[in-house]
Amino acid sequence: MNSANPDDLSLTLQQNLRTILQENQRLAEQLDYRAVAALVPRLQQAERIFVVGAGRTGLALKATAMRLMHLGLNVFVVGETTTPAIQASDLLLAGSGSGTTSTIVKAAEKAAAAGALVVAISTTAASPLGALAAQVVLLPAAQKQDHGGSLSEQYAGSLFEQAVLLLMDAVFQTLWALDGTPAEELWKRHANLE
């Protein structure tokens, strides 16, 4: 790996951050917010919410699970040892850019078979995950294997993963505004064994 002088590095870092922010802004301007808004009552009405995603998408959805827990919603991360069986009154929020990630599709199949509502976050509805979902939240971002750079200059699905985190933070903010619970009350649910 080549080393560069600090001035060159600082300019490169600045440009890279600008690119990332611009790409996220462009994506945000292309979202169908009316379609995304349909997710809000579904989250409110679910008895329990389960989130599943692989890799960095999974990390973004774990962050979402934490925020939903702060609201007092009953939320679980698929794959954790304390996650119970999904049931018909539950919702599975599944993230996969391609909609073909086998572990995510398998979780959605099991959730659908149990009668749970499946909501997908993806770049496409035309996928095995999309076919299982009652709703697909579409993010106009590159998939991991899209190396052409037409949708994003970033590496391996980074824009999708960032957009999952940002969009679900916006969903949380919306749910919080509807809930009206003061931040001090939400904070009481924050992890205190850190």
| Phi, psi for residue 177 in degrees, rounded to 5 | -60, -40
Active site residues: 161
Q: Is 171 left (phi over 0), alpha (psi -120 to 50) or beta?
A: alpha
Contact residues for 105 (Cβ-Cβ < 8 A; gap 6+): 96, 99, 128, 129, 132
Contact 118, 92 (CB under 8 A): yes
Identify the CA nearest to 115 among candidates 84, 134, 89: 89
Q: Alpha-carbon distance 141 to 173, whole Å? A: 22
Long-range contacts of 20-23 (CB under 8 A, 24+ apart): 20/154, 20/158, 20/159, 20/162, 23/152, 23/153, 23/154, 23/159
